[in-house]
Amino acid sequence: MLEHSSLVTSLNFAGLGLPDTLLHALTAHKFTVPTPIQVDAIPPLLAGKDLLGIAQTGSGKTAAFVLPILTHLLAEPRRPGPFQTRVLILAPTRELALQIDEATRGLAAGARMRTVVIIGGASRYKQCEAMRRGADFVIGTPGRIRDLMNTRELSIGTVERFVLDEADRMLDLGFIRDIRHIVAALPARRQSCLFSATMPADVAQLANGLLRDPVRVEIAREEATAPKIAQSVRFVPTSGKQALLAELLSHPGFSRVLVFTRTKHGANKVAERLEATGVQVDAIHGNKSQPQRERALRDFRNGRARVLVATDIAARGIDVTGVSHVINFDLPAEPESYVHRIGRTARAGAEGIAIAFCDATERATLRAIERLLGDKIPVVGDIPAEFQGRGDSPNPAWKRGGGGGGDRNRRNPPPRGRQGMRSAA
């Protein structure tokens, strides 16, 4: 469940103009109060406007675009022709595509909608067979979508609703050519939405070319929810990271732990070493096959694996509730990824703990992250000798520790007296 701003608590979904069939599905989901993005996006989308949404995974954006699309399909029932689809949703990763599919089927409930997921790493043959009967929704990643378009096993010339989700990540992953190719094949008469967590110039340019007179909806970035996440940083030499991780995991409070590494190789190495110490762990990254990734996620969700080691790309969009800790084994190259990573804990209004390991080579990255957060991340634990006296900042992170501040995200360890924080982190 998501937390809602008090401003919207007086609104319910019926007030947004959704049809009864969908209201029933929402009640079944126990979605009673729309999230801010739903409040802002659903009415203009129902009115047929294009939309530019600046929002993150976790804001409820999937339902914000799926509900108006379902409303449209229910109001104008039509069977799509073979290989055709009425709706096209593009996502940057396979996991996100599968999550959108799951959410769509859940929200459509009794209203028989045919969804086809077209993603790499899964059987192309099955996807083509599914398209023979046409689809209401095609949800997929750009590469495989383009692949099926090229062989005419997917025709998007009849698309009525188009959604580009996580546009910034799409561009980071180098999908721009595929996206341009796909967009060029869409009919001119359509409704389009673009969602992005950030709005760098290349995304704004893409949005300009895609959207007509869009309504712009901006929902507070994840930093705004950072007070729910108790953050800390541990200074540790590269060679000491694995031992520190093992030590942390020896505390039972670390019940569902997402560990981030920068590389696929790093993810495998960390997972293998943990496994050798008897920890139930899985790894998820771009080199894993789709079934392997799905199994890893399932095991993590149902608690069979206590630890999931992931790279940023594979973890993008992962929606697992009850993640107790996010551990940044390596700091991400891009400061914004840090915000995405720690957002995997404290999801849906729960509290969470994020611990970052920082070795001597990562100090500049840490400073960049702190600049983005507009605050310092409290240091926990000792400061190894090699970190001392070599700071190239007038105010190096390890000298700041607790005290003073008073900024929004300020936390002195142990944050808000959370149990286990000092001993475990």
Q: Minimum distance from CB of 52 to ligand AMP (Å)?
A: 16
Q: How far apart are alpha carbons 295 and 282 in whole angstroms?
A: 9
Indicate the residue among 68 and 134 with the shorter CB distance to ligand AMP. 68
Report residue 82: phi and psi, to 5°.
-55, 135
Q: How far apart are CA 324 and CA 344, in angstroms?
A: 9
CB of 289 to ligand AMP, least distance (A): 24
CB of 13 to ligand AMP, least distance (A): 8
Q: How far is the CB of 64 from ligand AMP (least distance, A)?
A: 7
Residue 219 or 424 having the CB closest to ligand AMP: 219
Non-local (6+) Cβ contacts of 310 within 8 A are 258, 259, 260, 261, 267, 283, 284, 285, 318
Nearer to ligand AMP, 61 or 344 (CB): 61
- Closest to ligand AMP by CB, 1 vs 368, is 1
Within 13 Å of residue 304, how many CA atoms lie on the same side as its CB?
Answer: 7
- My answer on whether omega of the bond before 332 falls inside 30° of 0, hence cis, is no
Cβ proximity to ligand AMP: between 33 and 199 the closer is: 33
CB of 117 to ligand AMP, least distance (A): 16
CB-wise, 31 or 338, nearer to ligand AMP? Answer: 31
CB of 1 to ligand AMP, least distance (A): 5
- Min separation Cβ 372 and ligand AMP, Å: 21
Task: Find out whether 219 and 57 touch, Cβ atoms under 8 Å.
Answer: no
Instruction: Compute the distance between CA of residue 209 and CA of residue 182 in angstroms, rounded to an integer.
Output: 13
The neighbour count for residue 409, using CB atoms within 10 Å, is: 20
Rounded to a whole number of angstroms, the minimum distance from the CB of residue 163 to ligand AMP is 12
CB of 42: closest distance to ligand AMP in angstroms? 10
Burial 241-270 (b: 16+ CB within 10 A, else e): bbebbeebbeeebbebbbbbbbebebbbbb
Helices (H), 86-188: 94-108, 124-132, 142-150, 167-172, 176-184
Nearer to ligand AMP by C-beta: 164 or 355?
A: 164
The per-type count for the chain, helices as H runs and strands as E runs, is 16, 13
Residue closer to ligand AMP by CB (options 60, 266) is 60
DSSP state string for 170-216: HHHTT-HHHHHHHHHTS-SS-EEEEEESS--HHHHHHHHHH-SSPEE
Binding site for ligand AMP (CB under 6 A): 1-2, 31, 33-35, 38, 57-63, 319, 348
For residues 298 and 294, give the distance between their C-alpha atoms in angstroms, rounded to a whole number. 6
CA atoms within 13 A on the CB side of 186: 26
Instruction: Look up residue 384 and give its amino acid.
Output: P
For residue 39, the surrounding DSSP H or E stretch is helix 36-46
Shortest Cβ contact with ligand AMP: which residue? 62
**H/E segment holding residue 364:** helix 363-373
Measured from the CB of residue 29, what is the shortest distance to ligand AMP in angstroms? 7
In the structure encoding, which two tokens stand for residue 186, read together? 């869409």
Would you say 170 or 380 has its CB closer to ligand AMP?
A: 170
Q: Toward ligand AMP, which CB reaches closer, 25 or 149?
A: 25
